Structure 1
Amino acid sequence: MSLVENGVIPLYYELACDCTFPVDEGLTCALMSSWNNLFAFVFYMFWFSPYLAANTEWMTWTCVGACALAVPMLHFMKEHYYRLDIDTHIIEE
């Protein structure tokens, strides 16, 4: 399971770079990494709560829910490859 989850991370970064093409790739990846680190920090800070740290089953279901939520979000995303359009336009001239 971890192989599947961690194997798609570069694909998400590449998709984000394609969707935000005129923006620099470094800025897009830095923003995604910052948001990921912020959510992970908040998620792991729940360990300090005595009530939530006693029962960790909710953490498993939260991770499953996050993965399940990503599928419909990707399904409804309209993809348009701006870099491909620019590259093919330059080649055709």
Structure 2
Amino acid sequence: MEAGWLGFYMLVTGCFASLFFSWLCDRCSGHMKTILVMMYMGATLSTAWITLMLWHGVIPFSTVSLYVSIILSGLFVNGAVPLFYEMAAEITFPIPEAISSTVLVWSNCFFAGIFLLIPMIHGVGTLWMTWSILGAFLLSLPLLLFLRGNYRRLRLDQGQPDPA
């Protein structure tokens, strides 16, 4: 029952965060990459908190600490989802948004399926999951930093000339 409430609070927080961060990106146009990097730093820290709490008690375990870390993780991770779709549309412009979002959805489903099938292997356990999620965030941060956000689509929507 506790896991259900953790998931509920994580998803509800993520839904509100996605609305807020989408609104924020609209107000701070041209700074989506910066917002995504900050959100993934928060996701990395909150996931590290969860991982270290579950891994031999490096951080003392408490229910309050678990709730706060999971809710923060949901806020940063789920709040970033619409921004990644928008950034993919910006990067792949003039390719239609439907193609870039389809590639994101397909790859997400594919890797999530593999991720969920691995625990079915006898004796694998589940602690590796938190470590692999933390590793994915740590790998994503440098990739986000080196990402070149060109915002050509945004400039076209705003009626500005395209420098390309």
Percent identity, aligned pairs only, is 34
- Equivalent runs, 1:4-83 vs 2, <5 Å: 4-52=76-124, 55-83=125-153
Cα drift, residue 51 of structure 1? 1.9
Q: What TM-score does the superposition give when structure 1 sets the normalisation length?
A: 0.86
Segment drifting more, 76-85 vs 59-68:
76-85
Runs (4+) of structure 1 exceeding 2 A deviation are 84-87
Structure 2: which 5+ runs fail to align? 1-72
How far apart, in 2, do the equivalents of 1:79 and 1:2 lie? 25
Which digits, 9 at most, give the CA deviation of each residue in 1:12-62, with x for residues without a partner? 11100000011110111011100000000011011210121xx21101100
Structure 1: which 5+ runs fail to align? none
Aligned-partner SS, 1:50: coil
- Across the aligned residues of Structure 1 and Structure 2, the Cα RMSD in angstroms comes to 1.4
Cα drift, residue 79 of structure 1? 1.7
Cα drift, residue 85 of structure 1? 3.8
Letter in 2 for 1:33: V
How far apart, in 1, do the equivalents of 2:79 and 2:92 lie? 22
Q: What TM-score does the superposition give when structure 2 sets the normalisation length?
A: 0.51
Letter in 1 for 2:127: E
Count of residues in Structure 1 that have an aligned counterpart in Structure 2:
88
Cα drift, residue 82 of structure 1? 1.4
Evaluate the alpha carbon distance shift between residue 85 and residue 2 of structure 1 in structure 2; reply closer, same or farther with a 3 A threshold.
Answer: closer
